[in-house]
C-alpha cells in the first residue's frame, strides 16, 4: 500500500473513531456490572463501579476521549512496564534477566507457587508481582527515596505531565495491608534475588503502583511505546528501541496476567492492566490508548475495559495476527 493510501485509511479510521467512540463506550458500559472493584487494597474499594473512560491519542497529539475520561486512578501494575524499562536502562539486559525470567506463569499475578517449585526461584517474568518487586530493587538510587524520585521523574517525562504525583492514601493503604506482597518479597530475599532490604524494596514498589494518572496520561505513555520509544509529538527519543521491544513483548505475553492468551486472541495488541481497572494499550506505529473502568473479572482485568478494546480491535482490525 502506498503512503497516500495508508494515510487516507488512517484519516477514515480517525473520523469513524471520533463519531462512534461514545456509542461503543455506552455499549461496553453494560459490562461494568460483570465485575467487582478490587478491595484487597482497602483504598481501591472506594472507586465507583459505574465508571468507564477512554482516551486514544494519535502521533500528532490529537485525542479522542469518551465516557469518564477525566476520572483519576492509580497506575498499579501498569507501572511495572515502565519500571522494567528503567531497570533495563539503569542496569542493562544481562543483570535484569539474571533476576527475572521471560515466561508467562499461567498463575495469578500475586502467586508465589512457582518461586518455590521451579529452580532457581527467580520470578518467571517482570510483570507478575514477584517479578516487579525484584525489578524495583534494580532501579538506580542510593535508597528508596532516591529511587522513587527517579521513577516519578521518568514517568512524568514519558507522560509529558510534570504534575504526576503519588496518591498517598493508596500508598498507605497498600503498605498497611500488603501481607502477600510482603511474603513474596521475603521469599525473594531468601532466594538471593533482592539486593536491598525488603521494606525498602516494597516502599519503592508500592510508590510506583500508587502514581495517579488519568486516561490521557496513559494514552501519552502508551503512544511512546507505540512509537518504539520516541515521543512522536515532541519528536524526542525517551527510551531505547530495544527496551521498548522487550516491554511490548512482555505486555503481549504477560500484560493481562493469566488472561494474556485470551486477550491476544480476542484483541491482539500489546496491553497492560492494573487492579485499579486501568488498561494501557496501543496500536503499534499509530495510537496510544488509555482505558479505565474499576470493576474487574476473576483474573484482575477490567470487564468493561477489555470489552471496549475488543470492540475497537474488531471494528478497526487492530489485531497484529
Q: Write out the binding residues for substrate.
A: 77, 129, 174, 181, 205, 257, 275
Least distance to ligand GLN from the beta carbon of 236, Å? 29
Helix (H, G, I), strand (E, B) or coil at 230: strand
Query: Which backbone phi and psi does 93 adopt, to 5 degrees?
Result: -65, -40
Q: Which spans of this chain sit near ligand GLN (rule: CB under 6 A)? A: 76-77, 109-110, 129, 174, 181, 209, 274-275, 300
Least distance to ligand GLN from the beta carbon of 299, Å? 10
Query: Which residues carry a binding-site annotation?
Result: 77, 129, 174, 181, 205, 257, 275
Active site residues: 77, 80, 205, 257, 275
Describe the crossing of helices 79-91 and 241-254 by its angle, rounded to 10 degrees.
140
Which CB sits closer to ligand GLN, 158 or 296? 296
Which CB sits closer to ligand GLN, 184 or 233? 184
Which CB sits closer to ligand GLN, 57 or 280? 280
Which CB sits closer to ligand GLN, 28 or 173? 173
275 vs 62: CA distance, rounded Å:
28
Strands 211-213 and 165-166: antiparallel
Least distance to ligand GLN from the beta carbon of 238, Å? 23
Question: Count of alpha carbons within 13 Å of 37, Cβ hemisphere only?
Answer: 16
How far from each other are the two terminal CA atoms of the chain, in whole angstroms? 18
How many Cβ atoms sit within 10 Å of the Cβ of residue 118?
Answer: 13
Least distance to ligand GLN from the beta carbon of 275, Å? 4
Strands 73-74 and 236-237: unpaired
Residues 241, 228: contact at Cβ < 8 Å? yes
Amino acid at each position: 500500500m502506498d503512503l497516500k493510501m495508508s494515510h487516507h485509511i488512517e484519516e477514515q479510521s480517525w473520523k469513524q473513531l471520533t463519531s462512534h467512540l461514545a456509542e461503543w463506550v455506552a455499549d461496553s458500559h453494560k459490562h461494568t456490572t460483570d465485575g467487582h472493584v478490587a478491595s484487597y487494597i482497602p483504598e481501591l474499594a472506594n472507586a465507583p463501579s459505574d465508571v468507564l473512560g477512554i482516551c486514544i491519542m494519535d502521533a500528532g497529539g490529537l485525542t479522542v476521549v469518551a465516557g469518564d475520561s477525566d476520572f483519576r486512578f492509580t497506575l498499579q501494575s501498569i507501572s511495572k512496564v515502565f519500571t522494567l524499562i528503567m531497570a533495563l536502562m539503569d542496569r542493562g539486559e544481562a543483570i535484569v534477566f539474571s533476576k527475572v525470567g521471560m515466561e508467562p506463569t499461567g498463575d495469578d499475578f500475586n502467586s508465589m507457587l512457582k518461586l518455590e517449585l521451579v529452580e532457581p526461584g527467580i520470578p518467571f517474568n517482570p510483570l507478575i508481582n514477584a517479578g516487579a518487586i525484584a525489578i524495583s530493587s534494580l532501579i538506580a538510587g542510593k535508597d528508596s527515596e532516591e529511587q522513587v524520585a527517579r521513577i516519578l521523574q521518568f514517568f512524568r517525562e514519558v507522560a509529558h505531565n510534570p504534575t504526576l504525583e503519588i496518591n498517598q492514601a493508596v500508598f498507605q493503604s497498600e503498605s498497611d495491608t500488603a501481607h502477600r506482597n510482603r511474603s513474596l518479597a521475603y521469599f525473594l530475599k531468601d532466594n538471593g534475588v533482592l539486593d536491598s532490604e525488603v521494606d525498602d524494596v516494597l516502599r519503592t514498589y508500592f510508590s510506583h503502583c500508587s502514581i495517579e494518572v488519568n486516561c490521557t496520561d496513559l494514552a501519552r505513555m502508551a503512544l511512546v511505546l507505540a512509537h518504539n520509544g520516541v515521543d512522536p509529538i515532541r519528536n524526542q527519543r525517551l527510551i531505547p528501541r530495544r527496551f521498548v521491544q522487550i516491554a511490548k513483548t512482555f505486555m503481549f505475553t504477560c500484560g493481562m496476567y493469566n488472561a494474556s492468551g485470551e486477550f491476544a486472541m480476542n484483541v491482539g495488541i500489546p496491553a497492560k492492566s492494573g487492579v485499579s481497572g486501568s488498561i494501557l494499550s496501543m496500536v503499534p506505529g499509530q495510537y496510544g490508548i488509555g482505558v479505565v473502568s474499576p470493576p474487574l473479572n476473576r483474573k484482575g482485568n477490567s470487564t468493561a475495559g477489555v470489552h471496549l478494546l475488543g470492540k475497537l480491535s474488531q471494528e478497526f482490525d487492530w489485531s497484529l495476527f
